[in-house]
Amino acid sequence: MTADVVIIGAGPAGLSLAIGLAQLGVCVEIIDEGQTAGGQVYRAVSRNSSNKQLLDWLGLDYAKGAAVVSDAQKLDRISWRMATSVWDIRCEDEGIELGLVVDGKVSVVKSNHVVLATGAMERPTPFPGWTLPGVVSMGAAQTLLKDAGLLPEDGVVLAGQGPLLYLFASQILAAGVRPKAVLDFAPKWVAPKNLPLLARALISSGKMIAKGLHLRNQISAAGVEHLFNVKRIEAFGDDSLNRVRYLHRGVEKEVETKLLLVHDGVIANTHITTAAGCAHNWDKQQAAWIPRRNTLGQTSCKNLWMLGDGAGIAGADAAVLQGRIMARAIAMKLDLSPPYGEHQNRADLQALSRITILRRFLDRQYAPVAAFSNPPDETMICRCEAIKAVEIRTLARSGCMGPNQLRAFSRAGMGPCMGRQCGGAISRIMAAETGQDIADIGHFSIRTPLKPVTLAEVASLHKVEP
């Protein structure tokens, strides 16, 4: 089967788009690094659908993903390349080439239309001690729960802010895990300047806000200490974490723990769009780089489309709506009748607009944590190359022109993660040190390979037409 459209990402956005196009008769190929479809939101949901206990812990929003995956797998016009990484992307006038690697074998596929549904990544949280064993991102901990049913032990400390903090706390409480403390960097009450946004969000998405409050309230209802407006954290230990120090209401306190889970929201995963040469804008509201798109979802690169959280954080429900809307746009590009009527399209756009209003409030209420954005000098920023904040500040003061020049001077961002984890922090530190906007400082340029490949694998390259 020759694919008319290639979709990178098998999460809610990619699956929704694939279903819409396949129902119309478009041949679609989905490429994803995971072993099974679902992305991060619905990770391993098909395998877990028979595990009632795990589904009860993870909640209904996760469980409903099984039906979405099943609907996609039933359609003959959708083909799958799972456990496959994209290591190269090249946008040419005659089409888009994707370099793929699976089981050590490298190949190239070409398509006239490629859609990136690569989702989000956690915002990195550099602070003193964050590289110690025992300090883990909350998203990684949730992935372990979905993938293998692994739970943290009693006495875990949760630190950070935002919806995932409350969701994960609720999930492990349902599983019988009792955290020692929840260190919340967000205020307990909405700031007066955010009340107009809250009022609009209540009108458009009142049920979602009530659900969020319910999740948050479960923490204190379970008798777990929940501290708001925490200003700073530090992790300590010799070979591994043994205690966490934090600043709350002007007083430094400590709590003993062997596991600290940290979260500061999510940002668009733009690694592949940057490598493709797409134009990006700095989004002050989400404090992240966002691919520049037109109203249909097309990037600045010809026939390269983008949707879902990779195009700006909006959540799984918005991703599904975006998939249906984009299916209509691509169908029209292919001179096909749209998969949904005009009435349905208007309804989807209105529903997406309501979610966008809620998102604006969440972005304002849970702005990036200042302690992570401007860490102390001795904080490790680039873990791969062991570059500390003081080295970045010193280079910025010496006249370094931006992240790419800094990379040449210090090797920051040249390790295995290729700047995924340190790039944003480096730009923020340089901007603060020089008094410039991050939009002017810029970001790391990304070059292929996006994923590690050997010279032998590249030498054996063969081209496959989808």
pLDDT tens track for 43-102: 999 999 999 999 999 999 999 999 999 999 999 999 999 999 999 999 988 889 999 999
pLDDT at 114: 97
100 near 31, Cβ under 8 Å?
yes
pLDDT at 415: 87
DSSP 192: G
DSSP 71: H
Residues near 185 by beta carbon (within 8 Å), at least 6 away in sequence: 159, 160, 161, 229, 230, 231, 264, 369, 371
d(CA 321, CA 348): 6
Q: pLDDT-derived band of residue 452, with 50, 70 and 90 as boundaries?
A: confident
pLDDT at 338: 63
Structure tokens at 243: 């205690």
Least confident residue range of 67-76, 313-322, 347-356, 417-426 = 417-426
Q: If residue 177 lies in a helix (H) or strand (E), which one and from where to where?
A: none
pLDDT (tens digit, 9 = 90+) per residue, 345-404?
Answer: 889 999 999 999 999 999 999 999 999 999 999 999 999 999 999 999 999 999 998 999
Kindly tell me if the per-residue pLDDT of 341 is higher than 70: no
Amino acid identity, position 7: I
d(CA 100, CA 105): 8
Region 292-303: mean pLDDT is: 94
Kindly tell me if the per-residue pLDDT of 463 is higher than 70: no
The closest alpha carbon to 264, from 156, 372, 177, 169, belongs to 372
Structure tokens at 211: 């659900």
d(CA 446, CA 210): 41
Least confident residue range of 89-103, 188-202, 299-313 = 89-103
Domains for the chain: give ranges and CATH numbers: 5-121+267-363 (3.50.50.60), 124-264 (3.50.50.60), 370-441 (1.10.10.1100)
Mean of all residue pLDDT scores within the chain: 94
More confident residue, 289 or 415: 289
pLDDT at 339: 53
The closest alpha carbon to 374, from 440, 430, 433, 429, belongs to 429
Phi/psi-derived region of residue 200, left when phi > 0, alpha when psi is between -120 and 50, beta in every other case? alpha
260 near 241, Cβ under 8 Å?
yes
Least confident residue range of 163-167, 300-304, 458-462 = 458-462
361 near 315, Cβ under 8 Å?
no
Q: pLDDT-derived band of residue 1, with 50, 70 and 90 as boundaries?
A: low
Region 111-128: mean pLDDT is: 96
Q: DSSP characters for 16-70?
A: HHHHHHHHHT--EEEE-SSSSSSTTTTTTHHHHTT-HHHHHHH-HHHHTHHHHHH
pLDDT at 55: 96
pLDDT (tens digit, 9 = 90+) per residue, 264-290?
Answer: 999 999 999 999 999 999 999 999 999
Phi/psi-derived region of residue 368, left when phi > 0, alpha when psi is between -120 and 50, beta in every other case? beta
Q: pLDDT-derived band of residue 336, with 50, 70 and 90 as boundaries?
A: confident
pLDDT at 456: 81
Kindly tell me if the per-residue pLDDT of 464 is higher than 70: no
Structure tokens at 28: 């679609």
- Residue 199 CA from chain centroid, whole number: 27
pLDDT at 250: 96
pLDDT at 447: 84
Kindly tell me if the per-residue pLDDT of 142 is higher than 60: yes
